[in-house]
Chains A and B, each alone.
Chain A
Amino acid sequence: MTTLQRQENNPIAHLTAEDIEAIGRELDAIRDEVIAVRGERDAAYIRRVIKVQRSLEIGSRAVLLFSLFPPAWLVGTAGLSVAKILENMEIGHNILHGQYDFMRDPKIHSTTWEWDMATPAEQWQHSHNQIHHKYTNVVGKDNDLGYGIMRVDENQRWHPFFLAQPLWNFINALFFEYGIAAYDLELGRNLQTKKRRSNPVFRKNLKAVGRKIGKQALKDYVIHPALSGPSFLHTMAANFTANVIRNVWSHSVIMCGHFPNGVSTFERTSIKGETRGEWYLRQMLGSANISGSKLMHIMTGNLSHQIEHHLFPDLPASRYAEVAVKVRALFEKYDLPYVTGPLPKQVASAWAKVIRLSLPNRKPTAAPDPSIPPRRPVAEPVTA
């Protein structure tokens, strides 16, 4: 954990190696408790959410057939936005994490599920489950930090390009699903050289994304509008609006997961030979929660419990709320910063960081020790 050790306010300075392994064991025990009771209730829950989501989507699309009338447009657009958010967050994201694989229902399984998103499930699973969740907040390994287009760490060299990063971030929020698709494709990197452009794996993935986007666009911008007849343009606008609302919402929730003040980032070298306890600790310090009501948790796909999600990505998300009580007690026991706050506060905090880092560092770094690359805290922990 070399990054943290060089921080001015190192949140784990007081922990011994034994403490860290003890934390790991306590978290494993929390996980075991959930595994022991996982079953009927969780299966019934996801089936119910899927049913509610599908009914809401069918209902909203039916209302939008008459979207020529403003009240129908408003109701249908609102309903469709909620349906799309549920579909992406509480259903798609969680099923694609394998949270419901235990049910052995081939219809609700991480290997078969496809979602209402520009990026195909399989590509997203690679960049999200395999890369982001394994290398959480490791600068240079976890591209979720800044999505490769933003400066997210004081120690990243500043370039005039970053002046525009608040704008990039805003555009990314509006068209988040396409941003994610480009990100999963590693589009920037893969378009750079001819060799990379013609790589067969990249070509195959590109084609899959093209097909997926084509179908999605045809559905939202041609087929459903056409079914609405005279309401064609209104339905098209409604679908566009619902997609944008869904995009901005998920972008905001996801920014709150790892960007707000108090969240730590890690050096590439710090994860060499990492133990299970150290991996857990990195997830604890590298994630942030959103506080709120039950409805808030459902609408974020329980990613409001980002800390619990990063500790136990394959446990049914609806269990995170009960797990959070124990996890938080563990944070307190070991005097670690449990970063959480209401949505507006966390979103503001994340945006403030995006804006701050678009400018060069205010304070010049102290004369660096030539033997160690200079590191400073990415952010101060909120609790001392």
Chain B
Amino acid sequence: MTSPGRPSRLGEVPVTQTLRNGAWRVVELITTPVVPSDYLDVIAPLRNPNVLRARVEAVHRETANAVTLELRPGRGWRPHQPGQYVRLGVDVDGIRLWRSYSVSSPAGQPSGRISVTVNAVRDGLVSSYLLANARRGMIVNLDLPAGDFVLPAERPAKSLFVTAGSGITPVMGILRSAVHELPDVVVVHSARTSEDVVFGADLRALAAAGRITLIERHTGADGRLKPAELAELVPDLFERETWACGPGEMLDALADHWSEAGAAERLHVERFRPTVLVAGDGGSVTFERSGARVEAPAGVSILDAGEAAGQLMPSGCRMGICFKCVLPMREGIVRDMRDGQITTAVEGDNVLIQTCVSAAAGPCHLDA
């Protein structure tokens, strides 16, 4: 207990702090022009407070197509809330690609670990890479947890979870953390076959223990679940606070169904963004800061198109060699006009592109 009336005590904090800051500045001078952590990264990649990373501590195969990674986050991590997702940055063939994965482990594990479950998606570079190559000891880059697909502080008396495929992962995180706080839980889960149910054993164990009412739907045999069928499966449908996660069409259908019933505010959805962008010719380029927007045809560089629209653009050699014109692309798809290489960015990516040699190959959003 320090009382504010003791100046000696008060004076001490700034002095030690100043000393520590000064000492740190000397350490920084020792390593200039890089920072001390660049050297430390070589031996202790998790302790860098400015670059959040995680070590893969264990890899469990869930199904033929899904794998769970147990991760130990490094310094700077902030615990997640059940239902949130994290972005993982994985170097695939030398290129760092970021993808979002729901945290499937319960919150606040004493080991400090979290787990994510990766489902291989068609044409998914990162998911198929992790499925084949994730090993214990591997270092991945990590972002802080995000997303509002979470339970309210006041737990609902009746809850319903409608999931399909890998949509079960955030719900599994919620169930593992808080199923004991939820008095009446129904889980309606769709997968192609019984073997394809990710966390099938865990879900069936919860059901057997009477914690949840599990309704499994195997779409390979029974076809896709229609919202209208839900009323038969769950009679008190609209009395329940509902969380849904799965493919976009399913979520759209559910959203329509709930709003027709006037219960839209009871439905919470989590959408997995589609990450597969298909290259076309030309596209609209939006400069998000200035609000300028221009239609850029295939043969015209984004630099030229932007300048023609009155956007202030950084530029240099205008032939792809000086890297003065790079701008972050938040979302979109571009084609290198020299070699035809395609570069894509999904939300949160901020991929730096050379605007003087890149042409739009679809809608692009630039951070400029």
Contact surface of A with B, Cβ cutoff 8 Å: 28, 31-32, 35, 38-44, 51, 54-55, 58, 97-98, 101-105, 107, 109-111, 114-116, 125-126, 129-130, 133-134, 212, 215-216, 218-219, 223-224, 227, 279, 313-314
The residue in B33, B93, B96, B319 that gathers the most chain A C-beta atoms within 10 A of its C-beta is B33
B94 and A102 within 8 A (CB): yes
B39 and A58 within 8 A (CB): yes
Chain B nearest CB from A214 CB (Å) reads 10
Given known A-B contacts A28-B338, A35-B341, A102-B95, A216 and B32 have beta carbons under 8 A apart: yes
Nearest-CB residue, chain B, relative to A114: B33
Judged by a CB distance under 8 angstroms, whether B339 is at the interface is yes
Given known A-B contacts A104-B96, A224-B30, A98 and B323 have beta carbons under 8 A apart: yes
Interface range on chain B (Cβ under 8 Å from partner) = 20 to 34
A39 and B93 within 8 A (CB): yes
Judged by a CB distance under 8 angstroms, whether B142 is at the interface is no
A54 and B317 within 8 A (CB): no
Chain B nearest CB from A220 CB (Å) reads 10
Name 15 interchain pairs, CB-CB below 8 A, sorted by A: A28-B338, A28-B339, A31-B339, A35-B339, A39-B95, A41-B94, A44-B94, A102-B95, A104-B96, A105-B91, A125-B324, A130-B316, A133-B322, A216-B32, A314-B320
Given known A-B contacts A102-B94, A103-B95, A129-B324, A134 and B33 have beta carbons under 8 A apart: no
The residue in A98, A115, A133, A279 that gathers the most chain B C-beta atoms within 10 A of its C-beta is A98
B42 and A42 within 8 A (CB): no
Supplied contacts A105-B91, A110-B326, A126-B322, 17 more A-B pairs, CB within 8 Å: A31-B338, A38-B94, A39-B94, A39-B95, A43-B94, A101-B326, A101-B352, A102-B95, A104-B96, A125-B323, A129-B317, A130-B322, A215-B32, A215-B33, A223-B26, A279-B319, A314-B321
A218 and B29 within 8 A (CB): yes
Interface bits B325-343 vs A (CB < 8 Å: 1, else 0): 0100000000000111100
Contacts of A129 in B (CB 8 A): 316-317, 321-324
B29 and A103 within 8 A (CB): no
Contacts of B29 in A (CB 8 A): 215, 218-219, 223
The 4 closest A-B pairs by CB, nearest first: A43-B94, A129-B322, A39-B93, A130-B322
Contacts of A104 in B (CB 8 A): 95-97, 351-352
The complex places the Cα of A111 from the Cα of B322 at a distance, in Å, of: 11
The complex places the Cα of A140 from the Cα of B249 at a distance, in Å, of: 63
Judged by a CB distance under 8 angstroms, whether B144 is at the interface is no
Nearest-CB residue, chain A, relative to B336: A35
Contacts of B94 in A (CB 8 A): 38-44, 102-103
A-B contacts, CB under 8 A, total: 101
B34 and A114 within 8 A (CB): yes
B93 and A110 within 8 A (CB): no
Contacts of B339 in A (CB 8 A): 28, 31-32, 35
Judged by a CB distance under 8 angstroms, whether B307 is at the interface is no
Given known A-B contacts A58-B39, A215-B33, A125 and B91 have beta carbons under 8 A apart: no
Contacts of B34 in A (CB 8 A): 114
Contacts of B340 in A (CB 8 A): 32
The complex places the Cα of A215 from the Cα of B326 at a distance, in Å, of: 28
Chain B nearest CB from A24 CB (Å) reads 11
Nearest-CB residue, chain B, relative to A57: B39
Contacts of B39 in A (CB 8 A): 54, 58
Nearest-CB residue, chain B, relative to A133: B321
Interface bits B22-37 vs A (CB < 8 Å: 1, else 0): 0000100110111000
A130 and B351 within 8 A (CB): no
Q: Mark out the residues of chain B between 240 and 254 whose CB falls within 8 Å of any chain A CB in the assembled complex.
A: none
B95 and A134 within 8 A (CB): no
B33 and A115 within 8 A (CB): yes
Judged by a CB distance under 8 angstroms, whether B256 is at the interface is no
Given known A-B contacts A35-B341, A39-B95, A126 and B324 have beta carbons under 8 A apart: yes
Contacts of A126 in B (CB 8 A): 316, 322, 324
B32 and A219 within 8 A (CB): yes
B42 and A51 within 8 A (CB): yes
Q: Contacting B93 at CB < 8 Å: which of A40, A216, A314?
A: A40
Q: Mark out the residues of chain B between 193 and 223 whose CB falls within 8 Å of any chain A CB in the assembled complex.
A: none
Chain B nearest CB from A361 CB (Å) reads 34
Chain B nearest CB from A184 CB (Å) reads 14
The complex places the Cα of A64 from the Cα of B64 at a distance, in Å, of: 56
The complex places the Cα of A215 from the Cα of B33 at a distance, in Å, of: 8
Judged by a CB distance under 8 angstroms, whether B38 is at the interface is yes
Nearest-CB residue, chain A, relative to B328: A111
Contacts of B351 in A (CB 8 A): 104
The complex places the Cα of A55 from the Cα of B32 at a distance, in Å, of: 15
